[in-house]
């Protein structure tokens, strides 16, 4: 879709203020034109007068026209009836000769018949005149880049007079009926409310009131029309008032001229109401503000209007293809019958042009650039072979299917006209055959195609051909066979492959030297949305649901951001297909899919919140500290730092090119570093399981880098993938916990530099693994003694951290490495008080596991205190406590359970001295 930003150059008459009239008289300077615009060598003017008088005239005119039409049609019917009556009157028994009356005259019913024939002729004339009143929008001519750069001439009214009449264009006949009615309605509205002049807001109101198409646009945007109309009404109320009459001002005409320009650049035949609305919204900041309040940008409005345009265009294209496809043969023979049947080839291939003729292929949108490149290369180079190189899902197949349809419509250069596009299937070629057989098959196929002379080959995933050689590696491969035939320039080949396979298998073999590469890049977001706009019609029909524009927008933007191993537009299309099925099942037929539906489904798929923050969730986010504290005791600074970075991430205030957060937890063992990481995984990714935990003490050797990112070719473990890269690739939405980071080999830390800075890491096979959706947490026990010392001295955590960063940590990590962390969090050693609380938490967990067995469990305060005292250790934090609980509580309980001393509904009470007292429940 061409989207030329070139602005129109306007000339507004200063004498009459763009009105065309001074008082009652035509302006002498502009000759009544008021305002004109310059567009590609043409002078545009608005020739249809709009004021109360003319509006009245147009209305009466329309009425009279309709009356004339109805009368003429009635006369035509009556004429036929009178002829029937005349025939009925003939008395065939007397004399056929009586028929001569018919030509001699005097027959009244015949007189009436012939009169109606005359009115029929008039009807032909009348409707033809009506059709002539309409004019198509100018067709944009091809302009060289130099022409594009030449600035338009500066205009004045003297010059305008000299420009030939042919180049002055009245744009009003190019507006369709709907658009003209909208313009008139806009004037009526402005007039009724005594506005000084017709403004953009009046167009908008008129559009909402009378144009179904404009209503459809707002419906697709998911706007509540009542609410919107009310707000727009307020805007209209703020326009300047007039005591006198409302004028159809230069501003109003400017909008129409811009609408015409829009139609011109988009190759439309007529200007529709939607073009006026698009320009009206673009011209009024206040309306844009209202829309932004409803979460709708100008870009969104434009994209929805483009959506309607694309649908119309697709329909026209489809009609054209259908019509031209009747001319093509079903048997694969060209129209001149010079070709030969290719019975053998047909076994190993699929005729895409035939499928296109049958209407089985999807229409292709916005690939003109690629088509031009394909045609240019095939036409120009001596060897007619190209390979489309693009990631899966970027549209290679769509381009090929589009090409087949173009060939059916003869919308291709001469050398492709009346040819068949045949997709050669490599899997069929090599299935059940040895390399020698496959080679023979390929040779026969090629021979047939060359003899037939009308075959254009398409080979999908051409890299599969490489390496299949008769007689082992030294023999001649399938690729060489193809290569030789191509070298003789005997047929045309179009192939496809992915960038990785191209560089790995094709670039450096002889086939790669003669076959020309065309890069198919992933479309940018806006283009992807437009491609989707062309596609969703089929999905909507299939599932009987409707997509709002927001759904498309979200599908493209969210998949672009969160799904990195697939490509646009395919990944967005697949997501929409899933959403459509989901919507049909849950919301029922005719349901409208909104943006948040798409986001919700994606959230479910990737197990990470991406949808809009609901009230419930925002409440949860605001209480994050509280939630985390249900698992973590104290460590206020750490918890609040973590909670803050999660909130930033969820409110989209983070750098999306880096991991969600890079955190370094410092502190002695057993103070809750790992526990906090688990809590984060649960809160943010929904489950503790979404955590990739690497014990860095296992990576102390330099070689262990191979285990992390996969071994390079030739080493043990090649092809297995790295422990880190594989885990993140399979589960890109997770928490990566690097335990005891200081123990890793320093070279490994350099790897993480890149991860933290760019959010990606390349594994040994050359695959880039995306780290932008992980939370990276490293823990370290480095300088534990230092921290413990300082805490004992009563130094604040803030100061300990400062000192650590300035001096102590530098022994372990380079400054640039430390710098990459968003936050370095120092965990305090635990005091008696905290251990007491932890003891309670741990005992609560014991109670929880007993509850599953129907047994109640309690602990007296003295018992908890005793446990805490046993379990407290300055050096090891809360770890000994866990052991103590295990020994004193879990073991005893297990024994009771096994001996049957405790059963359902009993109450077990932990008392001082490690005694567990059982209160038996009443037996039934």
* Adjacent-strand bridge partners of 45: 36, 170
> How many Å apart are CA 354 and CA 361, to the nearest integer?
10
The 297-336 site mask, x for binding another protein (CB under 8 A), equals -----------------------------xx-----x-xx
Q: Compute CA 151 distance to the chain's CA centroid, rounded to the nearest angstrom.
A: 36
Residue number, 345 or 859, with CB nearest to another protein:
345
Helix axes of 285-293 and 273-283: crossing angle, nearest 10 degrees? 100
The 90-129 site mask, x for binding another protein (CB under 8 A), equals -------------xxxxxx-xx--xx-xx--xx-xxx-xx
Please count the residues of the chain. 924
> How many Å apart are CA 1 and CA 302, to the nearest integer?
12
Q: Compute CA 779 distance to the chain's CA centroid, rounded to the nearest angstrom.
A: 38
Span of 51-59, 266-274, 567-575, 696-704 interacting with another protein by CB under 8 A: 51-59
Q: How far is the CB of 52 from another protein (least distance, A)?
A: 5
> How many Å apart are CA 376 and CA 395, to the nearest integer?
19
In the window 13-42, what residues touch another protein (CB under 8 A)? Answer: 24
In sequence order, which residues have a C-beta less than 8 Å from that of residue 161 and are 6 or more positions away? 31
Segments of 479-607 assigned E as strands: 492-497, 516-519, 546-547, 592-593
Q: What six digits make up the tokens of 81?
A: 């009836």
Exactly one of 3, 47, 61, 318 binds another protein (CB under 8 A); that residue is: 61
Count of residues touching another protein (by CB under 8 A): 44
Q: How far is the CB of 343 from another protein (least distance, A)?
A: 13
Q: How far is the CB of 87 from another protein (least distance, A)?
A: 15
Q: How far is the CB of 65 from another protein (least distance, A)?
A: 9
In the window 429-448, what residues touch another protein (CB under 8 A)? Answer: none
Span of 57-65, 180-188, 511-519, 778-786 interacting with another protein by CB under 8 A: 57-65
Residue number, 61 or 703, with CB nearest to another protein:
61
CA–CA distances in Å: residue 323 to residues 318, 570, 739: 9, 29, 68
> How many Å apart are CA 774 and CA 501, to the nearest integer?
29
Check: CB of residue 921 under 8 Å from CB of residue 908: no
Residue number, 408 or 572, with CB nearest to another protein:
408
> How many Å apart are CA 257 and CA 587, to the nearest integer?
43
Residue number, 69 or 566, with CB nearest to another protein:
69
Q: Compute CA 914 distance to the chain's CA centroid, rounded to the nearest angstrom.
A: 63
Q: How far is the CB of 448 from another protein (least distance, A)?
A: 10
Q: How far is the CB of 114 from another protein (least distance, A)?
A: 4
Residue number, 17 or 837, with CB nearest to another protein:
17
Q: How far is the CB of 445 from another protein (least distance, A)?
A: 16
Residue number, 345 or 383, with CB nearest to another protein:
345
Check: CB of residue 562 under 8 Å from CB of residue 608: yes
Q: How far is the CB of 361 from another protein (least distance, A)?
A: 23
Q: How far is the CB of 330 from another protein (least distance, A)?
A: 15
Sign of CA dihedral 301, 216, 310, 573: positive
Residue number, 154 or 337, with CB nearest to another protein:
337
Q: How far is the CB of 358 from another protein (least distance, A)?
A: 19
Q: How far is the CB of 335 from another protein (least distance, A)?
A: 5
Identify the DSSP state of 887. I
> How many Å apart are CA 239 and CA 200, to the nearest integer?
10
Query: What are the φ and ψ backbone dihedral angles of 133, each rounded to 5 degrees?
Result: -65, -30
Q: How far is the CB of 451 from another protein (least distance, A)?
A: 5
Q: How far is the CB of 108 from another protein (least distance, A)?
A: 7
Exactly one of 81, 196, 340, 847 binds another protein (CB under 8 A); that residue is: 340
Span of 49-57, 284-292, 502-510, 679-687 interacting with another protein by CB under 8 A: 49-57
Q: How far is the CB of 73 from another protein (least distance, A)?
A: 17
Phi-psi sector, 468: left (phi>0), alpha (psi -120 to 50), beta: beta
Residue number, 415 or 538, with CB nearest to another protein:
415
Residue number, 72 or 795, with CB nearest to another protein:
72
Using DSSP's 3-state secondary structure scheme, residue 666 falls into: strand
In the window 127-146, what residues touch another protein (CB under 8 A)? Answer: 128-129
CA–CA distances in Å: residue 871 to residues 858, 865, 878: 19, 10, 7
Residue number, 324 or 618, with CB nearest to another protein:
324
Residue number, 117 or 907, with CB nearest to another protein:
117
Q: Compute CA 740 distance to the chain's CA centroid, rounded to the nearest angstrom.
A: 41
* Adjacent-strand bridge partners of 492: 456
Which helix (H) or strand (E) is 421 found in, with range? strand 420-424
Does 52 engage in binding with another protein (CB under 8 A)?
A: yes
Residue number, 22 or 115, with CB nearest to another protein:
115
Sign of CA dihedral 696, 698, 704, 708: negative
Residue number, 252 or 470, with CB nearest to another protein:
252
The pairs formed by 533-537 with CB atoms below 8 angstroms and a separation of 24 or more are 533/303, 533/306, 533/307, 533/310, 533/311, 533/365, 534/310, 534/311, 534/314, 534/363, 534/365, 534/366, 535/362, 535/365, 535/569, 535/573, 535/576, 536/576, 537/311, 537/314
Exactly one of 68, 73, 74, 372 binds another protein (CB under 8 A); that residue is: 68
Which helix (H) or strand (E) is 299 found in, with range? helix 298-325
Exactly one of 337, 716, 852, 898 binds another protein (CB under 8 A); that residue is: 337
Residue number, 128 or 226, with CB nearest to another protein:
128
> Minimal CA–CA distance to 657: which of 560, 751, 525, 550?
560
Q: What six digits make up the tokens of 794?
A: 């009563």
Q: How far is the CB of 105 from another protein (least distance, A)?
A: 3
Exactly one of 29, 32, 40, 51 binds another protein (CB under 8 A); that residue is: 51
Q: What six digits make up the tokens of 875?
A: 């050096």
Exactly one of 451, 614, 750, 848 binds another protein (CB under 8 A); that residue is: 451
In the window 456-495, what residues touch another protein (CB under 8 A)? Answer: none
Exactly one of 15, 316, 338, 508 binds another protein (CB under 8 A); that residue is: 338
In sequence order, which residues have a C-beta less than 8 Å from that of residue 511 and are 6 or more positions away? 462, 466, 479, 480, 482, 483, 486
Q: Are strands 546-547 and 592-593 parallel, antiparallel or unpaired?
A: parallel
Q: What six digits make up the tokens of 161?
A: 């007079």
Does 716 engage in binding with another protein (CB under 8 A)?
A: no
Does 242 engage in binding with another protein (CB under 8 A)?
A: no
Residue number, 114 or 715, with CB nearest to another protein:
114
Exactly one of 47, 233, 237, 453 binds another protein (CB under 8 A); that residue is: 453
Q: Quote the Cα angle for 674-680-684, to 5°.
A: 155
Residue number, 47 or 831, with CB nearest to another protein:
47
Q: How far is the CB of 162 from another protein (least distance, A)?
A: 30
CA–CA distances in Å: residue 876 to residues 314, 785, 871: 71, 11, 10
Residue number, 333 or 580, with CB nearest to another protein:
333
Q: How far is the CB of 286 from another protein (least distance, A)?
A: 29
Q: How far is the CB of 357 from another protein (least distance, A)?
A: 15
In the window 394-423, what residues touch another protein (CB under 8 A)? Answer: 418
**Interface residue list for another protein (CB under 8 A):** 24, 51-53, 56-57, 60-61, 64, 68, 103-108, 110-111, 114-115, 117-118, 121-122, 124-126, 128-129, 245, 326-327, 333, 335-341, 418, 451-453
């Amino acid at each position: 879709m061409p989207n030329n930003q070139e602005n129109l150059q306007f000339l507004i008459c200063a004498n009459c203020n763009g009105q065309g009239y001074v008082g009652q008289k035509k302006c002498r300077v502009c000759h009544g034109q008021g305002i004109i615009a310059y567009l590609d060598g043409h002078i545009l003017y608005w020739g249809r007068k709009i004021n109360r008088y003319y509006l009245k005239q147009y209305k009466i005119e329309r009425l009279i026209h309709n009356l004339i039409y109805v009368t003429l049609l009635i006369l035509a019917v009556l004429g036929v009836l009178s002829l029937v009556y005349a025939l009925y009157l003939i008395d065939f028994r007397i004399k056929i000769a009586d028929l001569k009356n018919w030509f001699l005259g005097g027959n009244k019913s015949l007189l009436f018949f012939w009169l109606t024939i005359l009115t029929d002729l008039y009807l032909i004339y009348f409707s033809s005149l009506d059709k002539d009143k309409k004019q198509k929008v100018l067709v944009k001519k091809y302009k060289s880049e130099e022409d594009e750069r030449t600035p338009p001439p500066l205009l004045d009214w003297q010059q305008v007079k000299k420009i030939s009449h042919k180049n002055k264009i009245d744009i009003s006949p190019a507006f369709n009926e709907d658009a003209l009615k909208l313009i008139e309605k806009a004037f009526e509205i402005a007039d009724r409310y005594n506005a000084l002049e017709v403004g953009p807001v009046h167009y908008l109101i008129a559009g909402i009131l009378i144009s179904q198409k404009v209503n459809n646009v707002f419906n697709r945007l998911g706007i509540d029309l009542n609410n919107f109309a009310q707000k727009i009404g307020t805007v209209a109320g703020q326009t300047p008032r007039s005591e006198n009459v409302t004028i159809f001002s230069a501003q109003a005409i400017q909008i129409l001229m811009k609408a015409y320009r829009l139609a011109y650049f988009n190759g439309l035949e007529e200007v529709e109401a939607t073009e006026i609305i698009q320009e009206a919204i673009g011209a009024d900041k206040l309306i844009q503000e209202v829309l932004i309040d409803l979460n709708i940008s100008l870009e969104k409005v434009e994209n929805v209007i483009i959506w309607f345009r694309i649908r119309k265009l697709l329909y026209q294209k489809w009609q054209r293809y259908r019509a031209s496809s009747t001319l093509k043969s079903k048997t694969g023979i060209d129209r001149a019958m010079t070709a030969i049947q290719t019975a053998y080839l047909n076994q190993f291939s699929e005729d895409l042009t035939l499928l296109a003729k049958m209407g089985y292929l999807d229409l292709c949108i916005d690939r003109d650039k690629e088509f031009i490149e394909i045609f240019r290369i095939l036409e120009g180079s001596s060897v007619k072979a190209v390979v489309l190189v693009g990631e899966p899902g970027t549209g290679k197949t769509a381009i090929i299917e589009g090409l087949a349809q173009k060939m059916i419509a003869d919308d291709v250069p001469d050398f492709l006209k009346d040819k068949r596009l045949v997709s050669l299937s490599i899997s069929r070629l090599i299935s059940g055959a040895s390399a020698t057989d496959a080679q023979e098959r390929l040779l026969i196929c090629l021979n047939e195609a060359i003899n037939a002379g009308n075959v254009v080959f398409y080979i999908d995933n051409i890299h599969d051909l490489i390496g299949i050689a008769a007689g082992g590696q030294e023999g001649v491969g399938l690729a060489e066979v193809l290569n030789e035939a191509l070298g003789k320039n005997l047929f045309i080949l179009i192939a496809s492959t992915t960038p990785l396979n191209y560089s790995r298998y094709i670039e450096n073999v002889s086939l790669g030297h003669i076959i020309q590469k065309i890069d198919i890049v992933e479309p940018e977001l806006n283009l992807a949305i437009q491609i989707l706009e062309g596609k969703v019609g089929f999905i909507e029909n299939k599932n009987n649901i409707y997509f709002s524009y927001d759904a498309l927008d979200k599908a493209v933007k969210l998949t672009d951001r969160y799904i990195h191993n697939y490509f646009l537009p395919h990944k967005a299309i697949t997501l929409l297909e899933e959403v459509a099925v989901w919507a049909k099942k849950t919301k029922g037929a005719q349901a409208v899919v909104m943006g948040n539906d798409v986001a919700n489904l994606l959230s479910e798929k990737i197990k990470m919140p991406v949808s809009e923050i609901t009230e419930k969730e925002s409440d949860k986010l605001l209480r994050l500290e509280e939630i985390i504290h249900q698992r973590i005791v104290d460590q206020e600074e750490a918890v609040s730092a973590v909670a803050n970075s999660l909130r930033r991430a969820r409110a989209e205030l983070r750098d999306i090119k880096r991991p969600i957060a890079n955190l370094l937890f410092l502190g002695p063992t057993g103070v809750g570093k790992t526990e906090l990481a688990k809590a984060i995984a649960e809160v943010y990714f929904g489950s503790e399981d979404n955590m990739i935990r690497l014990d860095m003490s296992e990576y102390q050797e330099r070689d262990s880098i191979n285990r992390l990112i996969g071994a390079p070719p030739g080493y043990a473990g090649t092809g297995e993938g790295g422990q880190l890269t594989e885990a993140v690739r399979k589960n890109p939405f997770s928490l990566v916990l690097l335990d005891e980071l200081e123990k890793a080999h320093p070279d490994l830390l350099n790897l993480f530099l890149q991860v933290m800075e760019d959010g990606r890491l390349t594994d040994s096979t050359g695959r880039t693994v995306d780290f932008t959706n992980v939370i990276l947490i490293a823990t370290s026990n480095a300088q534990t003694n230092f921290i413990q010392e300082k805490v004992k001295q009563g130094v604040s955590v803030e100061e300990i951290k400062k000192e650590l960063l300035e001096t102590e940590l530098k022994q372990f990590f380079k400054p640039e490495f430390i710098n990459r962390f968003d936050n370095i969090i120092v965990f305090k050693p635990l005091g008696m008080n905290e251990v007491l609380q932890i003891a309670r938490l741990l005992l609560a967990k014991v109670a929880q596991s007993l509850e599953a067995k129907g047994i109640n469990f309690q602990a007296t305060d003295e018992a908890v205190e005793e446990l805490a005292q046993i379990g407290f250790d300055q050096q090891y934090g809360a770890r000994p406590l866990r052991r103590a609980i295990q020994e004193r509580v879990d073991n005893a309980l297990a024994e009771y359970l096994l001996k049957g001393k405790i059963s359902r509904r009993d109450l077990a009470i932990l008392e001082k001295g490690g005694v567990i007292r059982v209160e038996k429940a009443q037996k039934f």
